[in-house]
Every structure is written in C-alpha cells, then in structure tokens.
Amino acid sequence: MRIKLTSIMVDDQNKALEFYTETLGFSKKFEIPMGEYKWLTVVSPEGPDDLELSLEPNANPAGKTFQQAMFGQKIPVAAFESSDIDADFQRLKAQGVVFTLEPTPMGAVKIAVFSDTCGNLIQIYQPVGA
Amino acid sequence: MFLGHETFVRLCRARDLLQEVPEEPALIKDVARESGMSMFHFIRRFEALFGTTPHQFRINARLGRAKLLLARGQHSVTEVCMEVGFESLGSFSEMFSRRIGVSPSHFQRAARAMVQIPHQVPPRLFPGCLSLMGYLPPSVFRNFQEAPSSVLR
C-alpha cells in the first residue's frame, strides 16, 4: 500500500484548475469529464509525476459544510512544501493571492497560509535550514 | 493581498449571510455595510478570497440548494424555485440550465431514475470522497501502474 493520490474539495473545478495550474504552477494530469463533474488531478513539476492531487467537487452537502467550517476556523486542508517560501510568497502575492498568514517562523519550519479561491486555505512550509 | 483576522472573519460572515434564504434577502450593499466595508472594497476582497463575486456566490449557493431539493423529489420545480429565493420560474430555469447544463425538470427526472437510498441523495449527482474514481476508465489506472519503479519504492 502506498500514497499516490490525495484530494482537496473545490467549489468549482474549472476555477480550481486555473488556480492550481496557472497561479500555483502545478501541471494538469487528468481531466476526464463525468457528467456535470470531472475527474481532475494535478501534479507538481517539482515532484514525482505520479503523485497526484485530485480536485474533487464539493457538491456533497456534507463536504461543503466541512469545507466551510474548516475555512471559517482558518484551518488549512493541505500543506505543500516550498524550497523558497519567501520567493513563493512574493510570486503568489503579485498574482493577487490572498494570504491569511505571511511567512512566519514556527519551530522547525517557516509557514504561510493562503486562500485557493475554491473554498480552502492552503499552507506552504519550508523546513528551517532547507 | 494580506487579510487580517477581523476582515477575514467579516468576509466569512458575509459568505454565510449570502447563503441564507430569508424572506427578504439582503442587498449586496447591505452585506457590505454589515461587513464594515465600502461596496468597492467588499466586492474586491470577497472575490480575492472566495474566487467569485458576492452576487455570483449567492446565485451558486441557491442553485446548489435547488439541486439538492430537486434530487430529493419532494417538491415541484416551481416550489424549489421559490424555496431557494428566485422570484420567477423563467429566470430560475434559465439560470439552472445555463449553469448546470440541464433544465431543473430534466435534473429531477435523472435523479428519480437513480437508485435511491432513504435519506440520502444519489451519490453520482453529489459525489464526494473520491467516489468518482469508480467510474474512471482502466487507462487511468494503467498509468498508475506504469509509473517509473524508482518513484514507487
């Protein structure tokens, strides 16, 4: 058993694809239409290309309730590692991304938190000394 | 853009207000005022945080609730239209068809044709927890298996 796929719920898959590729810089792996929704995954060009993040619809009411509650409590639902968090912060900020936490040292890491515009807060982190 | 805690909380409260369906829905300018922002700043910050304008957010929330009510099959299309806050059946049907891809009545018929589990909505219309994976073609999984062995170790 291994971890090859994880997911984030999004409120609009087209908007999510645009944000995760054009703004964050990930690459689209699969986009398979399935009725009103699609099987949509992205990969990071800086990581193994078979480690996928699925951008799944939050159409299920339970998922939407969970997502909005996490967001309202400022809890990130995913964390991506950055090799230069200050540069990523500046790059994303210049593209209009909203941060709720600017790069901040916190123990063994420096972290920042931003909105993915699809209903989630995402944390980026850089291990200290990396 | 950096959002301080107070502004973040106010925008989340505005998001919640826009999802409610009261007898008299608040105007966007009233929600902005309640959030303590000018209309311009409210719309700009809301869109930056949630990826959509307050007006569009409210429409999407209403359509999402309409889908749920239609799928449950206990209300007519007209009743659903009124329940979610649209004032005319014509504008509701037109908006629903444009955004969802099928008319409200078509959506309701499709839901009725699916296997119903008591007190649940059809999972194919309201997917979650990676359930869409069950409908994927085999080629997707072949791709998983053909990943370089070096990254599978």
Q: A66 CB near a chain B CB, below 8 Å? A: no
pLDDT score for A130: 65
Chain B contact residues (CB < 8 Å to A)? 1-3, 5, 8, 12, 15-16, 45, 48-52, 60, 64, 67-68, 100-101, 121, 123-130, 132-133, 135-137, 140, 143-144, 147-148, 151-152
Residues 25-54 of A with CB under 8 A from B: 30, 32, 34-37, 39, 48-51, 54
Which residue did the predictor score with more confidence, B74 or B123? B74
Q: How far is CA A57 from CA A62, A103, A127, B55, B134, in A?
A: 12, 29, 31, 21, 15
Q: Nearest 5°: phi and psi at A108?
A: -85, 0
User: Could you report how far apart the first and last alpha carbons of chain A are, in Å?
Assistant: 29
Specify the pLDDT at position A22.
97
What pLDDT digit, counting tens, does each position of A44-99 carry?
999 887 899 999 998 888 888 999 999 999 999 999 999 999 999 999 999 999 99
Determine whether the interchain pair A39/B60 forms a contact, defined as Cβ–Cβ distance below 8 Å: no
d(CA B47, CA A10): 15
Count A/B contacts: CB-CB distance under 8 Å: 105
Distance CA A68, CA A9 (A): 11
B126 is written with which tokens? Answer: 């309201």
Band of residue B152 on the pLDDT scale cut at 50, 70, 90: very low
Are A61 and B68 inside 8 Å of each other by CB?
A: yes
Q: What is the pTM of this model?
A: 0.86
Minimum mean pLDDT range among A58-67, B75-84, B96-105: A58-67
Residue B6 reports pLDDT greater than 60: yes
Please say if the pLDDT value at position B23 is more than 90.
no
Mean pLDDT of chain B: 84
d(CA A103, CA A72): 20
CA B4 to chain centroid: 27
> Is pLDDT at B110 greater than 60 in this prediction?
yes
Q: How confident is the prediction for chain A on average, in pLDDT?
A: 93
ipTM of predicted assembly, 2 dp: 0.89
The pLDDT value given to residue B150: 39
Return the percentage of chain B with pLDDT > 70, whole number.
83
Contact B101, B115 (CB under 8 A): no
Digit-coded pLDDT (tens) for B113-143 = 776 666 666 666 776 667 777 777 777 776 5
pLDDT at A14 over 60: yes
Distance, in Å, from the CA atom of B57 to the CA atom of B18, rounded to the nearest integer, reads: 7
pLDDT band of residue B18 (cuts 50, 70, 90) is very high
C-alpha to C-alpha distances, A26 to B27, B92, B108, nearest whole angstrom: 38, 37, 37
Q: State the Cα angle at B29 between B100 and A65, rounded to 5°.
A: 45
Tell me the shortest Cα–Cα distance from A127 to chain B, in angstroms.
22
Q: CA A110 → CA A94, A127, A130, distances in Å?
A: 20, 6, 10
Q: Which structure tokens are listed for B21?
A: 């369906």
pLDDT of residue A74: 96
